[in-house]
Amino acid sequence: MIGTVHITPLMLTLVMVSALLATADDITVKPGDNLRAASLKLRPGDRMLLRGGVYHVMGNTIRPRTGGESWEKPITIMAYPGEQPILDGTFVLEGKWEKWKGAIHSFDLQAAGYEKPGNVVFRQGRRDLPSGRYRSQWTGPQVRDRPTGLRDAVSPDYVCRLPGRDHRS
């Protein structure tokens, strides 16, 4: 018969599985969850939503297997709406902090040899310094998804100079 299509249960299952695999997912994690395991599940277009609280991390805990495909389909790691996650770890910055404004100090990540400064969040004492995003791969929990490349991170006591911006002007 022309124009008639017979859909079998197998065909329907294949179509549904294909559609599910093609969509982006939200992966929600909370303090105490394994961030490394959750980040390994991320695919282009997915978002990792961090619930509020303190996450104790060491080194490159959050490291997706792949980056985003484009600005339209990034891997985004962000705060759960209305909540404030804090990544508190032992990442040590080796370099020189400079006085910037009043009691605020700055650290030039690029000058210190950090090639990908946007892939970490630094916690300095009781203050939180969010990272920026690079190559559509990372958005720090305190910074919402932005389409304009690296974003400078500012906390009440520290400023992080990222490539392309000059805070001294």
Token readout for 134 is: 């690079």
Residue 44 lies in a domain: yes
44's tokens: 């282009």
The predicted model gives 15-40 an average pLDDT of 73
> For residue 30, what pLDDT is reported?
93
pLDDT of residue 82: 78
Instruction: Evaluate whether residue 63 is within a structural domain.
Output: yes
- The domain total for the chain is 1
State pLDDT tens for residues 118-151: 333 333 333 333 333 332 233 333 322 233 333 3
Whether the per-residue pLDDT at 1 is higher than 60: the answer is no
Task: Classify residue 81: in a domain, yes or no.
Answer: yes
Tell me which residue range forms the domain holding 126: 25-161
With 0-12 / 13-18 / 19 or more C-beta atoms within 10 angstroms meaning exposed / middle / buried, residue 19 is exposed
Which residues does 150 contact at the CB level (< 8 Å), separation at least 6?
117, 118, 132, 133, 134, 162, 163, 164, 165
For residues 39-64, average pLDDT: 75
The single-letter code of the amino acid at 96 is: K
Q: Distance between CA atoms of 136 and 86, rounded to whole angstroms? A: 21
C-alpha 155/C-alpha 153 separation (Å) is 7
Q: Is residue 90 part of a domain?
A: yes
| 72-117 pLDDT per residue, tens | 676 777 778 877 777 665 544 555 666 655 555 555 555 555 444 4
Q: Report if residue 62 sits inside a domain.
A: yes
Whether 1 maps to a domain, the answer reads: no
Which pLDDT does position 127 carry in this prediction?
34
Other C-beta atoms closer than 10 Å to the C-beta of 36 total 14
Domain annotation covers residue 101: yes
Single pTM value for the model? 0.45
β-bridge mates for residue 115, sequence order: none
Sheet containing 76-79: which strands, arranged edge to edge? 26-29, 47-50, 76-79
Assigned domain for 106 exists: yes
